[in-house]
Structure 1
Amino acid sequence: MKPSILIVEDEVEIARFIQQLLEQEDFSCHSCHDGLEALRLQHQLQPDLIILDLKLPGLDGLEVCTRIRKQASAKDPYILMLTAKGEEIDRVIGLSTGADDYLVKPFSPIELVARVRALLRRSLRQADTPQTYRTQHFSVDLDQHRVYKHSSSSDDLLDLTVLEFKLMETFISAPNRVWNRSQLIDKLWGDDFFGEERVVDTQIARLRKKIEPDSSQPRFIKTVMGVGYRFEDAPRIAE
Structure 2
Amino acid sequence: MGMQLVESELYPNQLGSRGDDYVTKPFLPLEVVARIRVHLRRGTIYSSSVLPSEKVFDYGIFSLNRTTGQFHVNHEEVSCPAKEFELLHYFCSHPNRVFTAQQLYEQVWGNMVQGDEKTVVIDISRLRRKLETNPSNPRIIVTIRGIGYKFIPPYGE
TM-score (norm: length of structure 2): 0.58
TM-fit CA distance, 1:199: 2.4
Q: How is 1:61-80 mapped onto 2 (pairs within 5 angstroms)?
A: none
The answer for the alignment partner of 1:164 in structure 2 is 84
The answer for the alignment partner of 1:223 in structure 2 is 143
Runs of 4+ with >4 A deviation: none
Q: Is the 8 A contact 2:62 2:131 kept in 1?
A: no
Query: Counterpart of 1:189 in structure 2: which amino acid?
Result: W
Matched, 1:145 2:65: no
The answer for the alignment partner of 1:134 in structure 2 is 58
Question: Matches of 2:129 and 2:99 in 1, distance apart?
Answer: 19
Question: Matches of 1:234 and 1:216 in 2, distance apart?
Answer: 17
TM-fit CA distance, 1:135: 2.3
Question: Matches of 2:153 and 2:71 in 1, distance apart?
Answer: 15
Q: Is the 8 A contact 1:132 1:140 kept in 2?
A: yes
TM-fit CA distance, 1:170: 1.0
Describe the SS at the equivalent of 1:223. strand
Higher mean alpha-carbon deviation, 193-202 vs 164-173, is at 193-202
**Alignment RMSD:** 2.3
Question: Matches of 1:182 and 1:201 in 2, distance apart?
Answer: 10
Q: Is the 8 A contact 1:166 1:187 kept in 2?
A: no
The answer for the alignment partner of 1:188 in structure 2 is 108
Question: Matches of 1:167 and 1:208 in 2, distance apart?
Answer: 12
Larger relative contact order, structure 1 or 2 (CA cutoff 8 Å, min sep 6): 2
TM-fit CA distance, 1:226: 0.7
Query: Counterpart of 2:151 in structure 1: which amino acid?
Result: F
Q: Is the 8 A contact 2:71 2:77 kept in 1?
A: yes
Give structure 2 stretches of 5+ with no counterpart: 1-46
Question: Matches of 2:93 and 2:135 in 1, distance apart?
Answer: 22
- How many aligned residue pairs are there? 105
TM-fit CA distance, 1:141: 0.7
**CA gap 1:165/1:179 in 2 versus in 1, 3 angstroms:** same
Q: Is the 8 A contact 2:73 2:130 kept in 1?
A: no
Describe the SS at the equivalent of 1:222. strand
- Percent identity between matched residues is 30
Question: Matches of 1:148 and 1:221 in 2, distance apart?
Answer: 16
Question: Matches of 2:66 and 2:80 in 1, distance apart?
Answer: 13
Q: Is the 8 A contact 1:134 1:172 kept in 2?
A: no
Question: Matches of 2:58 and 2:124 in 1, distance apart?
Answer: 20
Describe the SS at the equivalent of 1:147. strand
Give structure 1 stretches of 5+ with no counterpart: 1-124
Question: Matches of 2:60 and 2:152 in 1, distance apart?
Answer: 10
